[in-house]
Structure 1
């Protein structure tokens, strides 16, 4: 992977992290918030 592709991938990851954090903050119920956290953690573990 070249330098530009790494930068692009890093920006996409940062954008996704911000979107997930925003969704968690705006979750209407604690159950929904918990579910979003579990999904985000599962996706983070599969990317590594």
Structure 2
């Protein structure tokens, strides 16, 4: 993987992390917040 691809992948990962954090912060219910937290933890462990 070249430098440009690494930077691009890093930006995408950062963008996704910010989107998940926004979704968690604005979750309508505590149950939805928990579901989002579980989803993000599972994705982090897969990588």
Query: Who is 1:13 aligned against?
Result: 13
Take 1:36 and 1:4, find their aligned partners in 2: how far apart are those partners?
31
Query: Who is 1:22 aligned against?
Result: 22
How far is the alpha carbon of 1:16 from its aligned partner?
0.1
What root-mean-square deviation, in Å, do the aligned CA atoms of Structure 1 and Structure 2 show? 0.3
Q: Runs (4+) of structure 1 moved beyond 4 Å? A: none
Q: How many residues align?
A: 47
- Structure 1 gap ranges (5+): none
- Structure 2 gap ranges (5+): none
Which string of whole-angstrom CA distances, capped at 9 and with x for unpartnered residues, describes residues 16-37 of structure 1?
0000000000000000000000
Query: TM (normalized to structure 1)?
Result: 0.96
**Structure 1 residue 32 and structure 2 residue 32: aligned?**
yes
